Amino acid sequence: MSKSERRSNWVLAALSAPCIPLSGLGLPLVVYLPEFYASELGLSLASVGAAFGAVRLLDMMFDPFIGGVMDRTRSRFGRFKLWFAISAPILMLASYMLFMAKPGVTSVYLWFWLLVVYAGVSISSLSQLAWGAVLSPDYDQRSRIYAWWQAGNVIGAILVLTLPALLPLFGIKAHSAGIVSMGWFIVSLLPLTVALAYFKVPEPLLVTPPKKGHIRDYLDLFKRPAVVRLLIADFLIGTGPAITGALFFFFFERVKGFEKGEASLLLLLYFVGGLVGAPIWNWLAQKISKHRALAVSCVAYAAMTVGILAIPQGNMIAGATLMFLIGIPYAAGAFLLRAIMADVSDQERLEGGEDRTALLYAILAGTVKIGSATAIFVTFPALQMLGFNPAPNGASEGLGALAFTYTAIPAAMALVGGWLIMRFPLTSQKHAEIRAALAERDGRVAAE
């Protein structure tokens, strides 16, 4: 394996360092902020669900545009690291406005700053993922690169979850103070970690001139069977955790009788399990291939998600054990699907003759956003129609629907997604043939 195929741990650590504040932003956007705006800031459950869900869907139209722009960017700084740096000030401003909001804010305020923050998230996530894809062409090394990326995300989630738990030690017990602390965590760490990645992580430069972009470039990708299968699997595998994330505090407080602080600890253990799981799934992927390892993780995730129903009321030992165990398979989906997409980008470059790495990740980001929108835009209004009251002392009506939505639906989606990805056609042998063909073609072009 050449030096360009295997990057050092230090380089991968620098690449993944910004995941800490980015995950510190992403987790509250799904888990804390919807509940915060509904319960603490006085907006209705339906209006919060509409804002968080619809903005995610609107943001999907931005992804293919900015992904195409990134693929056509040529600068002495690179394509992707330049855009990654641009995203930092956007995210810092929007995070401040969302996390420091006071009672009395309107739905318009929430809509506007969600649009800004998700634009920044699109730029940062697409550029970072595409940057990781070009760091190494090797099939197994890509699993390693995105395992580091996933580890950074999990560490960020763990750190941001500890903030509300630590504040009571200093006599600060208000729930809003925990949200504010998350905001400062993001705003403080983003410039430091983005600068570290920018100056320490290389990006292979393209010397070929960019081609003019067309909407058909985006649409043509949906004609690729491997792309379509990967997108469907990503939607199914990713939407389940998005649903459980959006309903987490409602389920554990109202159905299982945990206090908010206890529920936060359970969520923390879930992400600790994810940190433990990332190297396990990376190892298994190198033994049996990425898509088979991912299928195994889907079965484990489905079984453990349904098993949550067996947690006795308020039993911390049982709850902590199961949440840690379910975090282990949760870790596999995010990074293995993105490592597989890096391989698909090679196939697309060979067959289509053009590098569309960022555009492919824009498509993949679209499935994530549809899943996140579904988790809030569909489940929140549906539960309200079924009589669920989000207030801490609300009636028990609708709790059965909440429990079913939290467990059965994500488990079923994981099983179907695992079945689809198990049959994925792009194996390590096929990818090696693609890389050999690309190397031969690139050599001929360089010699001309």
Query: Residue 369 domain-assigned?
Result: yes
Residue 176 counted as domain residue: yes
At 222, which CATH number? 1.20.1250.20
Total domains in the fold of the chain = 1
Ranges of the chain whose pLDDT falls below 50: 1-3
The tokens 């433990």 sit on which residue?
A: 276
DSSP string, 73-92: ---TT-SHHHHHHHHHHHHH
Cβ(67)–Cβ(358) below 8 Å:
yes
Decide if 78 is inside a domain.
yes
Question: Using a CB cutoff of 8 Å and minimum separation of 24, what contacts does 207-216 make?
Answer: 208/355, 209/74, 210/71, 210/72, 210/73, 210/74, 211/72, 211/354, 212/72, 213/68, 213/69, 213/71, 213/72, 215/64
In a domain, residue 196? The reply is yes
Instruction: Return the pLDDT at 395.
Output: 58
d(CA 383, CA 378): 9
Position 374 scores a pLDDT of 76
DSSP structure class, residue 212: P
Domain enclosing residue 59, as ranges: 16-202+213-447
For the four alpha carbons of 242, 64, 113 and 15, in that order, the dihedral sign comes to positive
Does residue 431 sit within a domain?
A: yes
Q: Output the CA–CA distances (angstroms, integers) from residue 135 to 6, 11, 246, 443, in the order listed.
A: 8, 10, 34, 19
Within-domain flag for 5: no
For 228, list phi and psi in degrees, rounded to 5.
-65, -45
The answer as to whether 184 is a domain residue is yes
Is the residue at 208 inside a domain? no
